[in-house]
Amino acid sequence: MAKTRSVFFCNACGFESTRWLGRCPQCEAWNSFDERPFAVPTRAAKAVASARGAAPVAIELGAIDSAKIARLQSGMGEFDGVLGGGIVPGSVTLIGGPPGAGKSTLLLQIAGRLCKNGRVVYVCGEESAAQVKLRAERLGIDAPLLVHAETNLRAVLDALERTDPVALIVDSIQTVWLPDAESYAGSVTQIRDCTQALMEFSKRTGCATFIVGHVTKDGAIAGPRLLEHLVDTVLYFEGETTGEYRILRAYKNRFGSIDEICVFAMHDRGLNEVHNPSELFLAGREERPSGSCVVASIVGSRPVLVEVQALVGESSYGTPRRLANNLDQARLAMILAVLERRVGMHLGTHDVYASVAGGLRVNEPAVDLGIALAIASSFRDRPLPPHSAAFGELGLSGELRSVNASARREAEARKLGYRTIFSPEQYRDVASAIAAALS
């Protein structure tokens, strides 16, 4: 007979403890601890288990069947690209984002397209079947999609055993629940157990599963981050959700590279792919004012041109403000220090705001030179030469360092008509690049 013990964990963040706590030490939520019993195997049970498992279970690498798995194509080339070239059967993908980002819209569009491969089930826990139907009509979906308006995941999975679908969409993980887990829908226990049940189903049957997860304001999946560890692929909508454009980025991918993005435009009939994001992020700006610099960046595996903007103004308070939007705050601080010490720009009494236009987050060091040029241009109130672009990493002594894929960055910039390129290939340090750009 196995003994049972209890473990306590926080409903808000998943923190585990051996005893009940009034306040979570990790997320500081009050009264958020739930108890969960678990069976401790007895010594006899362990002995039986190890005797049973005595046969060799490890298989030599060469003997494993590496049958190539054919990926499903959603028919949206950009979306398939983010996943690494299509949807892997049996994979579980989490699509996260704030409300209104377009998660349901995107998945309904993809569900409709996947119907040509076999049965596709859309589990709607948030909306009624009639609401899904209305949306599908608006999106012009005319496919034999199966809609299951049910939040009891046990009932859904039982029905799925008979349906044998190629793809399953669960919208959203926060609304479904399992009767065996003693907690409310959306709690850490339910989210974890439901995800595990979905993983088990997908791996066993080869059904590709998409899970929708709502994200709280601070960017965490409401409830636990542990969902990210369980699933194969994590995609998040980033940037603003109020405008026309939506950016979907791969944060984790067991079947492809991370940081891959695809861009959509939200129209009255759903999301349309944007095939050339560079043109979008630079849209409609022939003449650039001071403080603006085009940067040839690499996002995922492809070059994308973005506009870095800076605004430098005299500070009216004692401590100047430094604000980075869609850029790394620490990089901005370092670039300011380099400009101050190595270029002799006295920014100590100035507020500096730096931002990437269009909502795309750019984290790579290759954006350094672009930020430096934008700040210098705003500080001297002189625009950079027309049709110019920049890339390059800044060292602490003011030197410019080469970055990866510089040929591809330059080619993308030239393709879009940027003739003057500021890069480590031409300038040894940031001071000479600034002198040349603002001469």
For residue 294, count CB atoms less than 10 angstroms from its CB and return exposed for 0-12, middle for 13-18, buried for 19 or more: buried
Using DSSP, state whether 327 is helix, strand or coil: coil
Q: Residue 222 or 311: which CB sits closer to Mg ion?
A: 222
Per CB under 5 A, 104 contacts Mg ion:
yes
Interface stretch with ligand TYD, choices 131-139, 220-228, 338-346, 359-367 (CB under 6 A): 131-139
Per CB under 6 A, 104 contacts ligand TYD:
yes
Query: Which of Mg ion, ligand TYD, none has residue 270 at its interface (CB below 5 to 8 Å by kind)?
Result: ligand TYD
CB of 212 to Mg ion, least distance (A): 6
Using DSSP, state whether 354 is helix, strand or coil: strand
DSSP for residue 79: H
Q: Which two tokens stand for residue 240?
A: 């603003």
CB of 22 to ligand TYD, least distance (A): 34
Binding marks (x or -) toward ligand TYD, 237..276, rule CB under 6 A?
A: -----------------------------x-xxx------
Residue type, 304: V
Question: Binders of Mg ion: how many residues, by CB under 5 A?
Answer: 1
Residue 140 CA from chain centroid, whole number: 28
Query: Which of Mg ion, ligand TYD, none has residue 256 at its interface (CB below 5 to 8 Å by kind)?
Result: none
Interface stretch with ligand TYD, choices 8-16, 94-102, 116-124, 201-209 (CB under 6 A): 94-102
Binding marks (x or -) toward Mg ion, 5..34, rule CB under 5 A?
A: ------------------------------
Q: Is the Cβ–Cβ distance between 371 and 337 less than 8 Å?
A: no
Residue type, 278: S
CB of 412 to ligand TYD, least distance (A): 30
CB of 306 to ligand TYD, least distance (A): 24
Distances (CA, A) of 302 to 62, 298, 322: 34, 5, 30
Q: Is the Cβ–Cβ distance between 266 and 104 less than 8 Å?
A: no
CB of 166 to Mg ion, least distance (A): 22
| CA gap 166, 158 in Å, rounded | 16
Interface stretch with ligand TYD, choices 34-42, 102-110, 145-153, 197-205 (CB under 6 A): 102-110
What is the bridge-based pairing of β-strands 388-390 and 393-394? unpaired
| CA gap 392, 338 in Å, rounded | 14
Strand partners, 235: 95, 250
Give the residue, chosen from 99, 118, 289, 313, that forms a contact with ligand TYD under the rule CB under 6 A.
Answer: 99
Residue nearest to Mg ion as judged by C-beta position: 104
Residues in the chain: 439
What is the bridge-based pairing of β-strands 292-299 and 420-422? unpaired
Q: Residue 14 or 102: which CB sits closer to Mg ion?
A: 102
| CA gap 125, 121 in Å, rounded | 13
Query: Which of Mg ion, ligand TYD, none has residue 269 at its interface (CB below 5 to 8 Å by kind)?
Result: ligand TYD
Interface stretch with ligand TYD, choices 24-32, 77-85, 101-109, 328-336 (CB under 6 A): 101-109
| CA gap 433, 439 in Å, rounded | 10
Under the rule (CB under 6 A), what is the footprint of ligand TYD? Answer: 97, 99-105, 135, 138-139, 266, 268-270
Under the rule (CB under 5 A), what is the footprint of Mg ion? Answer: 104
